Amino acid sequence: MSIEQITNIFDQLGFWTWWIAAGLLIILEALAPGAVFLWLGISGAFVGLIAWLNPGLSWEIQTSLFAVLSVVSIVVWRKFMKTRPTDTDHPALNERSRDMIGREITLVEAIHNGEGRTRIGDTIWLVEGPDLGEGAHAKVTEVNGSTLIVEAIPES
């Protein structure tokens, strides 16, 4: 293909092209959600509307308008979403270590020199705290990365 043929293809950009592209992008958003293709699709539909209202609009202006609208809409959406945290009954769902705070554990390896291990479920966790013997009970007070910080639970 020559440059003239490629330019000719772009010269044929009409409102239907933008509306078809918008529809495909919105379908793609339904298949791969992330709110990016949605805003690209909405931008394409808007450019299609402008091209329909102004048939003589050059392809350079159409594609520039699409690029600007796409970037602006995605940036505005992301800023808007950051100000509206998602309400959930499991706020620490993907932060398993946060769920450990306040949990009472039994040490599977004694804490010597401030370090030991415990098993929670099918995972062995590194534990830091006061020296305690194997089988001692402790309470998780803090999480530092993948290390549980514990304090001794007095025997009753």
pLDDT in tens, 50-105: 999 998 899 899 999 999 999 999 999 999 988 887 777 766 666 676 778 899 99
Complete domains list, the chain, with CATH: 3-82 (no CATH), 96-152 (2.40.50.140)
Q: Decide the pairing of beta strands 123-128 and 147-152.
A: parallel
pLDDT band, very low/low/confident/very high, at 23 (cuts 50, 70, 90): very high
Torsion of CA 38, 41, 46, 52, to 10 degrees: -160
Q: What pLDDT, on the 0 to 100 scale, is given for residue 94?
A: 66
Its pTM stands at 0.55
